[in-house]
Amino acid sequence: MSTLFLILFVFSHSLCVLQTQGLNSADEVNDSLTYLWPLPSEFTFGNKTLSVHPQLSLVVGGNGGNSSILRLGFDRYKAIIFKNSHGVSSFDRIRGRRLSYDVTKLKVVVHSDSEDLQLGVDESYNLFVQKKDGQSIVGEATIEANTVYGALRALETFSQLCTFDYGSKSVQVYRAPWYIRDSPRFAYRGLLLDTSRHYLPVDVIKQVIESMSYAKLNVLHWHIIDRESFPLEVPSYPKLWKGSYTKWERYTVEDAIEIVSFAKTRGINVMAEVDVPGHAESWGAGYPNLWPSTSCKEPLDVSKSSTFDVVSGILTDMRKIFPFELFHLGGDEVNTTCWSSTQHVKQWLQQHNMTTKDAYQYFVLKAQEIAISKNWTPVNWEETFNTFPTKLNPKTVVHNWLGPGVCPKAVAKGFRCIFSNQGVWYLDHLDVPWEDTYNAEPLEGINDVSQQKLVLGGEVCMWGETADTSDVQQTIWPRAAAAAERLWSRREATSSRNGNLTALPRLQYFRCLLNRRGVQAAPVTNFYARSPPIWSGSCYDQ
């Protein structure tokens, strides 16, 4: 970042170090807190109120200033910021009043022209909102970022600073000047979406992706297929999607490409999952030979080379859709009874001097080889690590889910890890209170700094057995936001002993912000996570 902005930031610390923003009303929410979610890394502010012009214009600079992703992002956020504002009112026009505004332009400087979106892309940014009064070095609102994705994160923060004032019918920024230097704590901040247990229309997936951007989540883990259904088109094996629930509950290749493109313009990667060898009964609806037998349909038949031809064909087709470097191969909950009870598979095991545990390892490692040959880094659920850690490919990313303590063991052996402890970060566990989600710590039990760096981040998981279009958003939000701040913000800033005073009001405010943006986020503190309010009252106190 430029020396100018560094000087500005250091100077601003003398004004008010880590003070907090309040709303412009004593009767709304606690004005001793900062109503930005997730909390930025470093910030200061003053005590002025600035008005924002309803025709706010974009001024760009840097090698990446002309990015279409930036311009689309600006247009999206401008629509959000001025949703309630309709420009100069008819009364002011009649009176001939000429209104003046403090902020008329948003200058965005993006240093890199690269739009490559991969794990660890630079999402840092500086944001300055200052009145142009002839004395300040920087006037109005300015964003500086190394990449367009950092600029998108800054636009989200800027949009949260902008508040519609109903008295003046204008958009205002309170507690200016704002000086914010921000970057994420973890590179991987994910949400799993399961479209096998219940089909989700493309527009609903897009709505989820849009809402993810509001909390600065950056990976959609698309659990597309499972034993219940196979909704994705695979051109190399067109009968696979006979495993869909109906012919109307399917995703074409074009649908998937559209979802990936939509996510990229919001700085979100899409990591696809093909869960093998278990969780794959639906594959046999189109290709019954993939089953060990018609009466014993899972795991996939390990004894046939054609099984791995299908796996390779699926991954070949999916590589044309999903550019993200990580690919999830599942590997969890593999019950090998079918292998030991089906005669031809049992005979194959004997010929190869394998136990069913050996065959499980054989299948997982062969699938990893296929994925790596297509330039993917394999991700596997933790059972693979728990069962044969010394055999896994060193590139493997271990995905924790069964409970705590797995990431410390994985990183101690040199593997990278993603934290998703089901006790706190499985969103279908509806009785988990928000504070348990918020206080979960991906680095718990890992004190060595070099090992801490192997924890890529974490992911909340929206398994779909009890969630479909009717309730998926209110099951995801707002608890996913609690994990999002844990993954973005500094650990020290989110480790207060009294979260009910420091985090809860802010999370309730963010929930209401989501509601205003059209996201069906549920009340924060209801025992049954997605249940509606029990009585009348303000959005900010449910």
Query: Percent of the chain at pLDDT above 90?
Result: 86
pLDDT top residue among 495 and 127: 127
Q: What are phi and psi of 339, to 5 degrees?
A: -65, -40
**SS3 at position 79:** helix
Correct CATH for 188-499+507-517 of 3.20.20.80, 2.60.40.1180, 1.10.10.10, 3.40.250.10: 3.20.20.80
Q: What is the pLDDT, as a whole number, of residue 515?
A: 98
Is 425's pLDDT higher than 50? yes
CA 503 distance to own-chain centroid: 20
> What topology does CATH give the domain 42-182?
Chitobiase; domain 2 (3.30.379)
503-542 pLDDT per residue, tens: 999 999 999 999 999 999 999 999 999 999 999 999 998 7
162-203 pLDDT per residue, tens: 999 999 999 999 999 999 999 999 999 999 999 999 999 999
Q: Can you give the residue ranges of every domain in the chain?
A: 42-182, 188-499+507-517
Q: What is the pLDDT, as a whole number, of residue 252?
A: 98
Output the CA angle 433-203-121, nearest 5 degrees.
70
**SS3 at position 245:** coil
245-264 pLDDT per residue, tens: 999 999 999 999 999 999 99
Q: What is the pLDDT, as a whole number, of residue 498?
A: 77
Is 14's pLDDT higher than 50? no
198-219 pLDDT per residue, tens: 999 999 999 999 999 999 999 9
* Residue of 333, 382, 383, 492 marked catalytic: 333
Lowest mean pLDDT among 128-132, 367-371, 427-431, 496-500: 496-500
Q: What is the pLDDT, as a whole number, of residue 29?
A: 56
Determine the average pLDDT of the residues in 317-342.
Answer: 97
Averaged pLDDT of the chain? 92
455 strand-pairing partners: 417
Residue tagged 């209110």 (tokens): 474
Q: What is the pLDDT, as a whole number, of residue 137?
A: 53
Is 333 an active-site residue? yes
364-394 pLDDT per residue, tens: 999 999 999 999 999 999 999 999 999 999 9
pTM of the model: 0.94
pLDDT top residue among 296 and 25: 296
Residue 490 and residue 470: Cα distance in Å, rounded? 35
Q: What is the pLDDT, as a whole number, of residue 169?
A: 92
Residue 263 and residue 244: Cα distance in Å, rounded? 24
21-74 pLDDT per residue, tens: 333 333 455 778 899 999 999 999 999 999 999 999 999 999 999 999 999 999
Going by C-beta distance under 8 Å and a sequence separation of 6 or more, which residues neighbour residue 375? 319, 325
Output the CA angle 471-472-477, nearest 5 degrees.
105
Sign of the Cα pseudo-torsion (521, 527, 533, 537, in order): negative
Is 139's pLDDT higher than 90? no
Residue 26 and residue 28: Cα distance in Å, rounded? 6
**H or E segment and range at residue 223:** strand 219-223
Q: Give the number of other Cβ atoms within 10 Å of residue 441's Cβ.
A: 16
pLDDT top residue among 7 and 299: 299
Q: Where are the beta strands (DSSP E) in 132-218?
A: 140-145, 162-165, 170-176, 178-182, 188-194
Determine the average pLDDT of the residues in 92-99.
Answer: 52
Determine the average pLDDT of the residues in 214-228.
Answer: 98
